[in-house]
Amino acid sequence: MQKKSLKPKGKIEYERLKKKTDLINLAADWYLILAMKNIAEDKEKQGDTFLRSRESLLKGLKKEQEDLTQDLENLFFAYLLFAVSTELMNKDEIKASEKKIASVTGELFEILPEDPGDLLKSFVKNVPTCVEALSFFMNAKNAFFKLKWDSGFGGKAWAKIADIAIMRLNGEIDSTVFIDAVFDIEHHSGHVFDKHENIRCDGRKLRAILNAKRDDNLDAMFKKFTDEHKYASSYIKTYYARGASAKWW
């Protein structure tokens, strides 16, 4: 069982959804930095002699991983709130009476506007922080899991998506596990990143990244993400070259 993590606090950064974001680039960068940081930490634990240059590299990898992780977590909280609420707006696909729906979900549907274009504005007002986000996801999970939805809508697939956010907001999983799970989880028709026009994610490329991080070593991942497909940012090559010089990989 994973050690209890600190619960996220503060405001939800909805402004992150107002700019275009290439998730393939972020995913490739994050998985490569995480892999390099983990190897460097293992070398440190094994008692490798750490020259000042190696100490500097490990410190840089840790800082880069922390910053990328925080950035992705903030983005994912905002995005998942939007994505889950978008799915909830298919309320007509629920096979239950209004009374039954209300008994299961409470006031959940009251914060959803009639016009999808007003969704973000409603959430900025009604779900401003991680506290309200946790309550929203818990009610959404009940709606997806306890109510019967028509095929292809809501249901257990979306309950699992809401549950990932709940586990992170409750401190049951840490940021790294959360981000990895969000990249990996799917709903009825594929990856979860198809609900907002500014969040760009090619499903085929994402699956290639996920397969590589699961099956390949760092060298193979690096070659695929930088040479074969150009998924990762150019600065990743500097970290990789420094680690190679230190004979870490």
User: What are the tens digits of pLDDT across the range 54-82?
Assistant: 889 999 999 999 999 999 999 999 999 99
Q: Indicate if the pLDDT at residue 130 is higher than 70.
A: yes
Sequence-distant (≥ 6) Cβ neighbours of residue 219 within 8 angstroms: 249
More reliable by pLDDT, 53 or 129: 129
Strand 186-187 to 190-191 pairing: antiparallel
pLDDT at 32 (0 to 100): 98
Per domain, the residue ranges of the chain are 21-245
Phi-psi group of 217: left, alpha or beta (phi > 0 → left; psi -120 to 50 → alpha; rest → beta):
beta
Sequence-distant (≥ 6) Cβ neighbours of residue 74 within 8 angstroms: 13, 16
Strand blocks (E) in 131-212: 186-187, 190-191, 199-200
Average pLDDT over residues 31-51: 85
For 181-232, write each residue's pLDDT tens digit. Answer: 999 999 988 899 999 999 999 999 999 999 999 999 999 999 999 999 999 9
Q: Residue 176: name the closest of 5, 13, 24 by CA.
A: 5
Q: Report the share of the chain in percent with pLDDT over 90.
A: 88
Residue 28 CA: distances (Å) to CA of 58, 61, 63: 19, 15, 17
Report residue 1's pLDDT band, with 50, 70 and 90 as the boundaries: very low
| Average pLDDT of the chain to the nearest whole number | 94
Q: Indicate if the pLDDT at residue 18 is higher than 80.
A: yes
Report how far residue 17's alpha carbon sits from residue 219's, in angstroms, rounded to the nearest whole number. 33
